[in-house]
Amino acid sequence: MGIIEKMRLDNKAIFVTGGARGIGKSVAIAFAQAGANLAIVDIDIEEASKTAAMIKETYNVETIAIKTDVTNPDDVNSMIDTIINKFGKLDVAFCNAGICINAPAEEMTYNQFKRNIDINLNGVFLTAQAAGKVMLKQGHGSIINTASMSAHIVNVPQPQCAYNASKAGVVQLTKSLAVEWATRNVRVNCISPGYMETELIKESEQLKPLISKWNEMAPMKRMGNPEELQSICVYLAGDTSTFTTGSDIIIDGAFSCF
């Protein structure tokens, strides 16, 4: 089998949390283009259902939409049961759901801080743990977590200490799981995107004024596109990355290099 064939994801079963829009939706499309069957997981079931239907119609792969609160263990376990009942297995987990709350540290409420940690870090743990349990029994699997360049730098000018802390936690969680499961054929990696020009950012009145400042600071003088994350996720999901585990792959146009 050649390298191109090995890059295919035909008949692999994959879930994508935060899959209704943004990075999750873009990567889900790439998985579908490579032949995978998908569970689009999101708290917004209406949008998740639209994304799942579009992917199924466009790429002729099996898709389902599942409403899940990734901070709720019962919800996460129910999600896994639904996936196994539908596909009979779970090959890849893309633990991607996340939020960002911008508030000065001295003004941030505990509930704001906790919500950031709950979704971005605890949610990744719960979904990766649930996926890992299935994969360890199967004897194979790949887990991809979404961290951020914010795990490595302190973003300016926006104040986002909770987000930065949560994403740094995702990187170390990823490495820890990778080491624990390394001899059991379950790989765990994460991607650390820089600023991505998603619909959410383009439509946010709070963030719009910051875009020009980010672009001015960026070595490439622009934000990334979600599509520029697709190929690395397909690589991590597939059979050409069998020696890649515990890696944090930064895709930020060199933003965090200085």
Would you please indicate which residues are annotated as catalytic (active-site) residues? 148, 163, 167
> What residue type is assigned to position 140 of the chain?
H
Query: 3-class DSSP state for residue 98?
Result: coil
87, 134 in Cβ contact below 8 A? Answer: no
Q: Which residue's entry shows tokens 């987000």?
A: 163
Q: What is the spatial distance between Cα 73 and Cα 68, in angstroms, rounded to a whole number?
A: 10
Angle of CA points 188, 192, 193, to nearest 5°: 140
Q: Phi and psi dihedrals of 47, rounded to 5?
A: -70, -35
Query: 3-class DSSP state for residue 34?
Result: coil
Residue among 124, 250, 122, 128 at smallest CA distance from 186: 128
Task: Name the token pair of 185.
Answer: 């054929």
128, 145 in Cβ contact below 8 A? Answer: yes
DSSP state of 92: E
Residue among 68, 73, 74, 54 at smallest CA distance from 15: 68
